[in-house]
Structure 1
Amino acid sequence: MALKKHIIFPKQQQLLQAFGENLKLARKRRKLTMQDVADRSAIDRGTLRQIEKGNPSVSIGAYVNVLRVFGLQEDLLKLAAADELGRKLQDLEIL
């Protein structure tokens, strides 16, 4: 069975690349090698390399494991937390 290729638009790819770069900087600030982070994340170094490039085909679980190594896993709760458009749509239904 062939894997379905995800279509990622350029702007979203830039966001993933920036996220990967942020993770790379977090690793370097902590003076951890790629192998250190890969071992602690239970992934291989090639997967970490893809994460740091912002590869959309890497599972979100692998990204979460890397965030955990840096103590940043709670940052996931900030994603989509505001949802201003959703709240406005919900308010319109109330009226």
Structure 2
Amino acid sequence: MKSKKTIIFPKYQEVMSRLGENIKLARKRRKLTTMQVSERAGIDRTTLYKIEKGDSKVSIGSYFNVLRVLGLQDDFLKLAADDEFGRKLQDLDLI
């Protein structure tokens, strides 16, 4: 069975690129090499390069492991934490 190809529209790819850049800056601030981070995260160095570029084809687990190595694993919990739109929809049902 063929897997579906994930499509990220260009304006949303910018979000992924910014995430990758933030991860790269966090690594550099900690003075960690790509080899150190990739080994500690249990991923190939090529995968780390893709993460730092914001590649959407890399698994979310790999992103999490890199954040864990950088001590930023709690930031992962911030993803989709504030569902303002969902609360507004829910409130409309209550009226």
Calculate the TM-score normalised by the size of structure 2.
0.96
Counterpart in the other structure of 1:54: 54
Give the CA deviation at 1:3.
3.2
Amino acid at match of 2:38: A
Deviation at residue 42 of structure 1 after TM alignment: 0.1
Segments of 5+ residues of structure 1 without an aligned counterpart are none
1:38 aligns to what SS in structure 2?
Answer: helix
How many equivalent residue pairs? 95
Q: Partner residue of 1:20?
A: 20
CA distance in 1, matches of 2:3, 2:88: 37
- Distance in 2 (alpha carbons) for counterparts of 1:59 and 1:87: 29
**Percent of matched pairs sharing the same residue:** 64
d(CA) in 2 for partners of 1:3, 1:36? 32
Matches of 2:82 and 2:60 in 1, distance apart? Answer: 21
* 1:65 corresponding residue in structure 2: 65
In structure 2, the residue matched to 1:87 is 87
Instruction: Say which SS state the counterpart of residue 85 (structure 1) adopts.
Output: helix
RMSD: 0.9
TM-fit CA distance, 1:34: 0.2
- TM-score, structure 1 as length reference: 0.96
Q: Offset of 1:2 from its aligned partner?
A: 3.3
